[in-house]
Amino acid sequence: MSALEAILRRDRYAVLGALLLLTALAWAYLFWLAQHMAMPTAAPPMPGMDMSMDMGPQMGIAMTPAFHPWSSTELFFSFVMWWVMMTAMMLPTAAPMVLLYARVGRQAEHQPFAASAWFAGGYLLAWMIFSLLAALLQAGLIRAALLTPMLASTSHVMGGAVLIAAGAYQWSSWKYRCLAGCRAPLAFIQQHGGFKWRPLPALGLGLRHGLYCIGCCWALMLLLFVGGVMNIAWIAGLAVLVLLEKVFTDGRHVSRLIGLMLIAGGLVLAGDAAMV
């Protein structure tokens, strides 16, 4: 092995190590936050919720959430929670693209391309925008009393509607177009101007890739409001579904199967609501 090959291999290991570390830190934060929220007597309520005491007929005391308009600080912390969550869920699926960028970039003959960190940063920037929108949506749902303190849906009607809509989107042409862009790293880069020499164009390329991934996965991410934004099992399950769509030979068939399951679950949930 030549000295250049050894350097390139170490460089790829460094990029992979950074991706793994960032993902592990994001998941560790989510586990900590979910555990913290599961202890209402020891932890503060979620943003937008105050815990009030209700005196029952037998003088029993129950803690129930009272909702209030969000402050800018509460909105910020909710936004951070969402961005960390999206990093934990989506960064592993972007690893092949980032590693390809690092590998090819360092093998450029005349001068290296912009560092892969710029590309990865653009990808996370796209999910930062999504996280802000998700935090605003969360604020609206809390104000309408449609979320529990663990940020799961309180309405079977809403939950069923979200499941059915997400399932239908799995069959849409827009879903497949975005999924195709996420599944073929080299083809995506070539179709959007190739590898970039300077940092800002590399950031823009990563941002565009992130927007394609949002176009592919936004409906699945909304399912967090059904099963619980802080339900770790639900978060991990959705992350696995997203990964399966991207790594299986025919991701379209996986997407359609997921869509059918979501539609069936939504119909069951809506049926339960109708029977109440």
- Domain boundaries of the chain, sorted by first residue: 3-275
Section 166-175 average pLDDT:
94
Tokens 């980032």 correspond to 98
Section 30-51 average pLDDT:
64
Q: Is the pLDDT of residue 6 over 60?
A: no
Query: Does this model's pTM top 0.95?
Result: no
Q: Is the pLDDT of residue 255 over 70?
A: yes
CA angle 70, 72, 76 (to 5 degrees): 100
Section 183-188 average pLDDT:
82
- Greatest CA separation for the chain: 80
The pLDDT of residue 102: 78
Distance of CA 244 to the CA centre of its chain: 15
Range picked from 46-55, 108-117, 118-127, 144-153 for highest mean pLDDT: 118-127
Q: Which residues of 237-262 are buried (b: 16+ CB within 10 A; e: fewer)?
A: ebbebbeebbeeeebbebbbebbeeb
The pLDDT of residue 72: 81
The pLDDT of residue 22: 93
Q: Is the pLDDT of residue 104 over 80?
A: no
Q: Rounded CA gap, 129 and 116, in Å?
A: 20
Q: Is the pLDDT of residue 171 over 60?
A: yes
Average pLDDT, the chain: 81
Kindly report, residue by residue over 208-224, the tens digit of the pLDDT.
999 999 999 999 999 99
Q: Is the pLDDT of residue 109 over 50?
A: no
Q: Rounded CA gap, 65 and 272, in Å?
A: 25
Asked if 51 and 65 touch (Cβ cutoff 8 Å), the reply is yes
Kindly report, residue by residue over 120-137, the tens digit of the pLDDT.
999 999 999 999 999 999
